[in-house]
Amino acid sequence: MAKILFITTRLPYPANEGHQIRTYNLLKRICPAHEVHYLSLQRKDDDPSAAAHLETMCRSVQVFPIANEHSKVRFAKDLLQGFLSSTPFVVRKYFSRDLARAIEEKLAAESFDLVHFDMLPLAQYAGLLGQTPYVLNNHNVESLLLKRRAENAAFLPEKIFFNNQAKSLHHFEVNACQQAKETFVCSPIDADILNSLSPAANISVVENGVDTGFFSPGKQEQTANSLVFVGGMGWFPNKDGMIFFMEEVMPKILAHIPDARLTLVGKSTGIEIPGALRDHITVTGFVDDFRPIVAGAAVYILPIRVGSGTRLKLLEAMAMGKAIVSTSVGAEGIDLTADENIIYADDAEAFARGIIALLTDQTKTASFGHSARELATGKYDWDIIANKLLSSYNTIITTNT
């Protein structure tokens, strides 16, 4: 049993959002195999009781609130320094003197076999580790996400800012991956991108996964002509995708299926439903358990146009046996097969056409869902995924001994 220092940017429990789900499910399977000491930053919206839950899994837990997280003064300062400094804005926001001090104290007090940085910005603390090796768990190719956001920016100042930040983050990302003993990514696509950006880095694929026991096909009947999307609007790719869907796709669907309805599940702050669609779109806000809502929908949609990595919500939909229509970006990194368990659609016309095809053919919808469920259980169950990570841990620790 090795001693692991596991560090995160936020508390991963309750596992409500994408990277929380990945982090929590991996951590949950690492703890029985190794002695894990856990350090984390804490956002204002993190559940304060999460630390107590994590103490039941880890040998020790220390949590450090992000100072002035939502302060307008700090935000303005970080933005300005983002222009003037070589340190990217998305890295700077996760710097904490308290966390840095805790890392130094931990490593001075006892010997660790490995440090696990869970998300790219934490690599800024690598200089504190001395000879202790670290691995980096990349949830996205972060510089690519910023580059895509710049490409989709509507205003020139926004485009200039995100282009500048993408370049800075590219340099940080390359350096962090090269220094890590191993960098884990969510998909072969992300691995190819990082290998091209940083050929000297050791990149391995540890896919996102799903608890296929918890997420399984529901018993309730599906509502005819019903669609569902799961995701908070606080994350730009979700908001951008939903605006695209409401403005360009939903009207085309309604022209053919006038009683079509969409249920939008997740925090809805910052999204406004067009007046003409208010009778056709239901916004639930955050719900503790969205499975009954997803189970009752005929088609699961993922109109994501920016971002990288893989969509955990998509894997959950697959495990629940849903028929899926997604952009190529939305299903990036998941081994789905077109016209067998997914319809790919990268423009409004194709997206609407794919949804209409499934809503009007229940046999096809059922077949797609069955195939998606089989793929989820056979390749993407969290137990299968975590074994890959543990195998890499063991190789690094053995080699470094």
Question: What's the whole-number mean pLDDT along residues 216-225?
Answer: 91
Q: What is the mean pLDDT of the chain?
A: 92
- For residue 368, give the 3-state DSSP assignment: helix
3-state helix, strand, coil in the chain (%, to 5): 45, 15, 35
Q: Which amino acid is at 344?
A: Y
Task: Encode pLDDT of 72-119 as tens digits.
Answer: 665 566 666 666 677 898 899 899 999 999 999 999 999 999 999 999
Same domain membership, residue 386 and residue 347:
no
Q: Where are the alpha helices (DSSP H) in 31-88?
A: 50-55, 72-84
> What is the rounded CA–CA span in Å between residue 84 and residue 395?
41
Same domain membership, residue 393 and residue 375:
no
Confidence at residue 141, expressed as pLDDT on a 0 to 100 scale: 85
Least confident interval from 135-149, 175-189, 210-224, 240-254: 135-149
Report the 3 state secondary structure along 86-141.
CCCHHHHCCCCHHHHHHHHHHHHHCCCCEEEEECHHHHHHHHHCCCCCEEEECCCC
Same domain membership, residue 188 and residue 266:
no
Q: Which residue has the higher pLDDT, 161 or 284?
A: 284
Task: Encode pLDDT of 290-334 as tens digits.
Answer: 999 999 999 999 999 986 555 788 999 999 999 999 999 999 889
Task: Encode pLDDT of 308-318 as tens digits.
Answer: 555 788 999 99
300 in any annotated domain? yes
82 in any annotated domain? yes
Task: Encode pLDDT of 43-76 as tens digits.
Answer: 988 888 899 999 999 999 999 998 765 556 655 6
pLDDT above 90 covers a percentage of the chain that reads: 74
Same domain membership, residue 177 and residue 88:
yes
Confidence at residue 182, expressed as pLDDT on a 0 to 100 scale: 98
Q: How many domains does the chain have?
A: 2
Same domain membership, residue 182 and residue 37:
yes
Same domain membership, residue 252 and residue 305:
yes
Same domain membership, residue 78 and residue 204:
yes
> What is the rounded CA–CA span in Å between residue 297 and residue 261?
9
- Range 115-140 burial, b when 16+ CB lie within 10 A, else e: bbbbbbbbbbbbebbeebbbbbbbbb
233 in any annotated domain? yes
Residue 177: pLDDT above 90?
Answer: yes
Residue 239's domain is classified under what CATH number?
A: 3.40.50.2000
pLDDT above 70 covers a percentage of the chain that reads: 95
Same domain membership, residue 90 and residue 55:
yes
201 in any annotated domain? yes
215 in any annotated domain? no
Same domain membership, residue 256 and residue 197:
no
Residue 18: pLDDT above 60?
Answer: yes
Burial of 394 per CB tally in 10 Å (0-12, 13-18, 19+): middle
Domain range for residue 346? 226-379
Confidence at residue 185, expressed as pLDDT on a 0 to 100 scale: 94
Same domain membership, residue 138 and residue 179:
yes
Alpha-carbon distance values, 20 to 255, 308, 386 (Å): 39, 16, 15
The pLDDT-based confidence of 146 (bands split at 50, 70, 90) is: confident
| Locus of tokens 């869902």 | 369
Same domain membership, residue 231 and residue 194:
no
Confidence at residue 144, expressed as pLDDT on a 0 to 100 scale: 83
339 in any annotated domain? yes
Confidence at residue 205, expressed as pLDDT on a 0 to 100 scale: 95
286 in any annotated domain? yes
Same domain membership, residue 197 and residue 237:
no
220 in any annotated domain? no
